[in-house]
Amino acid sequence: MAHDPVPGLLARAAEQLGAHFSHLPHTPEIAPASLDAMAAVLEETADRLGDNYPYFHPFYAGQMLKPPHPIARAAYALAMAINPNNHARDGGRASSAMEIEAVAQIAAMFGWSSYLGHLTSSGTIANLEALWVSGQLAPGKRIVGSAQAHYTHERISGVLKLEYAAVAADQRGRMDLDALEFELRKGDVGTVVVTLGTTAMGAVDPLDRILEFRDRYGIRVHVDAAYGGYFKLIQDGLDEPARRAFAVIDRADSIVVDPHKHGLQPYGCGCVLFRDPGVGRFYKHDSPYTYFTSKELHLGEISLECSRAGAAAVALWATQKLLPLTTGGEFARGLAAGRRAAHELDRRLRLDARFQALAAGPPELDIVVWKARCESAGQASSLAQQIFAACAERNLHLALVQLPEQWFQTLRGMNPGQEAKLVTCLRSVLMKPEHEEWLDRIWVEFGVASQQVTEK
């Protein structure tokens, strides 16, 4: 592991924080005997944690896992001295204010200065709140998402007792507009979930076109940008359809983005935003236990969760202070670097006769999917699994995904009736900025592993 700057960063800041409380009577120090016991347990903990894939390393290019920035880790650890709870200002005064500021910066990235929003413990909870508001506004109406939307939407709808329907995705993994309009014509759809950056392949649904349906069919448009939201900062560098979708994100009714995916945060940090602050009325409740120490807004008053990690807000605030969410800034350049790595990998795969990339073209964001070129889907799936395992043996960690086989064939090469056949593909999420620099080494390891498998 590379030198870790966090302990050094933390020591001085912890002393400074301690000084704010030095007027209090001293509390007992931790006894040396229990320090020894803690050290022993921590050693065991380190060994247990060693049983992990190296998520922090550029050779980990599999699932959506991005290491938190050192400033986020340091700020989170610093906040642990206080362990604030952002439910109410009673439990997290400074961290509530920091959450409000950090969320305002995220909203501003999407072009909103007036909104209602807060952090959540995950993208799932953030989406749950968005769909809960949908259900409050249009009870009994259906939720519709694409077949490539995250599975969470169907489950959330079940929890909320709202009917859910999945509409087909096209060869690019984007929501098919004809299939959507077919559902909308039935007249009972309340909300359409539009994904900007699907989990499987980073596809960007055509938000601009879907918004055209809003008035005609009286629907609400919820954008799940848990993965892709930050690409708003580099929208002008995206291909035209994705650029057009991100350009109108401010017209959505609600948006979810996960700072714990592309936002360099530790897990436990999602975010939900509503364009109409008036939806706060649905959250309205009183608490017999809290909301006493300040007349200012307590975040628990606009959130379904009660206790939430104030440390998550502190880490996000510090990260955005260091790396503001600006077009052309260092954070945005990091996103662009990962995307260039994905495009380069996709380009090389297209030149390799052993593989097939998506027929519709290069990745929209920074997720690459490809399949082995074989006679049958079964053979291709088996080869993908073997290559995945052979890469892991060489410390290169990729991922697998099941996609319709026809998405890898040109329209001319397609047979009727092929639609439903799924094939296991290789998948690589190149979300670390370092992936660009490491792509040659990744390619060498992938090449050796693939050769071992195909020559067997």
Ligand X SMILES: Cc1ncc(COP(=O)(O)O)c(C=O)c1O
- Give the footprint of ligand X on this chain (CB under 6 A): 64, 122-124, 127, 150, 152, 195, 199, 224, 226-227, 258, 270
How remote is the C-alpha of 324 from its chain's centroid?
18
Q: Do 220 and 191 meet the contact criterion of CB atoms below 8 Å apart?
A: yes
- Give 98 or 131: the residue with its C-beta nearer to ligand X: 131
For 132-262, list the strands marked E by DSSP.
Answer: 142-146, 164-167, 189-195, 220-224, 254-257
Q: With contact defined as beta carbons under 8 Å apart, do 109 and 324 qualify?
A: no
Beta strand pairing status for 142-146 and 399-404?
unpaired
Residue nearest to ligand X as judged by C-beta position: 123
Tokens of 412: 């001319």
Q: Nearest approach, Cβ of 222 to ligand X (angstroms)?
A: 11
Contact 198, 363 (CB under 8 A): no
DSSP-assigned letter for residue 174: P
- Residue 86 and residue 299: Cα distance in Å, rounded? 7
Rounded to 5°, angle at Cα 172 from 267 and 247: 65
* Shortest separation between residue 399's beta carbon and ligand X, angstroms: 12
Supply the minimum distance, in Å, between the C-beta of residue 342 and ligand X: 16
For ligand X, give the closer residue by CB, 120 or 406.
120
* CB 153, min distance to ligand X, A: 8
CA distance 394 to 442: 10
Q: CB nearer to ligand X: give 91 or 259.
A: 259
CA angle in degrees (0–180, nearest 5) for 429-364-330: 70
Nearer to ligand X, 269 or 453 (CB): 269
What's the min distance (Å) between Cβ of 258 and ligand X? 5
In the complex with ligand X, the residue whose CB is nearer, 199 or 320, is: 199
CB 226 → ligand X: shortest distance, Å?
A: 4
Nearest residue (CB) to ligand X, 64 versus 453? 64
Q: Which of 149, 150, 151, 131 is nearest to 141 (CA)?
A: 131
Bridge partners (DSSP) listed for residue 256? 224, 272
**How many angstroms separate the CA atoms of 169 and 148, rounded?**
6
Residues present in the chain in total: 456
Separation in Å, CA 401 to CA 173, 201, 222, 276, 302: 13, 9, 25, 37, 37
64 vs 179, beta carbon nearer ligand X: 64
- Based on its alpha-carbon atoms, the radius of gyration of the chain, rounded to whole angstroms, reads 24
Instruction: Give the residue with the Cβ less far from ligand X, 64 or 390.
Output: 64
Which residues, 6+ apart, have CB-to-CB distance to 116 below 8 Å?
Answer: 273, 274, 276, 277, 278, 279, 280, 302
Closer residue to ligand X, CB minimum distance, 199 or 319: 199
Q: 150 or 232: whose CB is closer to ligand X? A: 150
Minimal distance, residue 7 CB to ligand X, in Å: 28
Please report how close the Cβ of residue 428 comes to ligand X at its closest, in angstroms: 15
Least distance from ligand X to the Cβ atom of residue 121, Å: 8
**Contacting residues for 78 by C-beta, under 8 A, at least 6 apart:** 10, 13, 14, 17, 314
User: Which residue, 152 or 191, has its beta carbon nearer to ligand X?
Assistant: 152
User: Least Å distance between CB 120 and ligand X?
Assistant: 9
Minimum distance of ligand X from residue 122's CB (angstroms) = 4
Calpha distance 314→306 (Å, rounded): 18
Nearest to 271 by CA among 164, 409, 123: 123
